[in-house]
Structure 1
Amino acid sequence: MQQQLRSIMTSNVFTVNETQSIQEAAAVMSEHNIGAVPVVNNNGGIVGIITDRDITLRSTAQGEAAQTPVSQVMTAQQIVQGSPDMDVHQAAELMAQQQIRRLPVVENGQIVGMVALGDIAVDNQYDNEAEEALTSISTPSAPQK
């Protein structure tokens, strides 16, 4: 039986605008205890994603100021995303292939949810998918610049 992402995604998604500072993005992450925040433009369309790792490696480690715009450190190239109607198995496979732990869920150009590897792992019927995804995600890759 296929299960859609809409049934497991977090629909209360916190976002930041691409012009906000990395300090503001970090504050959102800290306040809501999350490790990734989708980045949106003024129309609400997703233009990137910023993670706690992005802030650490692409700003703090490089000596960037806390007021650096999110757009300078976010991941923006080919944002991997799913749709609410996507099957959970497909999402887990996509996350494994792309080595990502969090998948923005987009509908009509707007972010409507987020699915984390943990969301898939908590459902016993997806134990194998979660394990395979984590194995692929954990394979070392070259750092992005």
Structure 2
Amino acid sequence: MPTAREIMTSNAECVNADETVLDAAKRMARLDVGSLPICGTDDRLKGMLTDRDIVVKVLAQDKDPASCLAGELAQGEAVTIGADDDAREILRTMASHKVRRLPVIDGHKLVGMVALADIARALPDAPVGDLLDTLTSD
């Protein structure tokens, strides 16, 4: 089984916790991604910011994205995967937490992201189909 390090997209960009949601949204648009890891000044992962978070927690609440900070949307501990964890663990983690993207960490350092598309390219159809069923059920 391939490891997270082997199938991840490396060079993942973080949005700093003290950057505005507007800056984060512009970065998402530039990178053509739907989420960004939120990192603190200590370079540790604080959470994830999704395009849905921006819509539901900022825009729909009449908050100003130019003054709302990304760190305000980091909730609890981020779900992550270790760089040397294998694909079975990635599938288990995605399924149990119902997430489509996982930050990949090596120690405490963010080294990449594994998305559902990365898994689909790296694994046979059956396990990926099972994960899709889990993510879309409910």
**TM-score (norm. length: structure 1):** 0.89
Contact 2:46 2:77 in 1 (8 A): no
Higher RCO, Cα 8 Å, sep 6+:
2
Contact 1:93 1:129 in 2 (8 A): no
Aligned-partner Cα distance in 1 for 2:112–2:105: 7
Could you tell me which runs of 5 or more consecutive residues in structure 2 were left unpaired when the two chains were aligned. Answer: none
Matches within 5 A, 1:19-58: 19-58=18-57
Describe the superposition over 1:44-91 as per-residue Cα deviations: whole angstroms up to 9, x where unpaired. Answer: 1101110111111111111110120112223x3131100111011210
Amino acid at match of 1:63: D
Deviation at 1:43, TM superposition (A): 1.4
Query: Are 2:90 and 1:102 equivalent residues in the alignment?
Result: no
Aligned-partner Cα distance in 1 for 2:124–2:94: 13
Aligned to 2:69: 69
Amino acid at match of 1:132: D
Query: Are 2:129 and 1:131 equivalent residues in the alignment?
Result: yes
Fraction of identical pairs, as percent: 31
Amino acid at match of 2:25: A
CA RMSD of aligned residues (A): 1.2
Aligned-partner Cα distance in 1 for 2:92–2:57: 27
Number of paired residues?
Answer: 137
Aligned-partner Cα distance in 2 for 1:105–1:120: 13
Amino acid at match of 1:37: L
Deviation at 1:134, TM superposition (A): 1.6
Describe the superposition over 1:94-120 as per-residue Cα deviations: whole angstroms up to 9, x where unpaired. Answer: 101100000000112110110001100
**TM-score (norm. length: structure 2):** 0.94
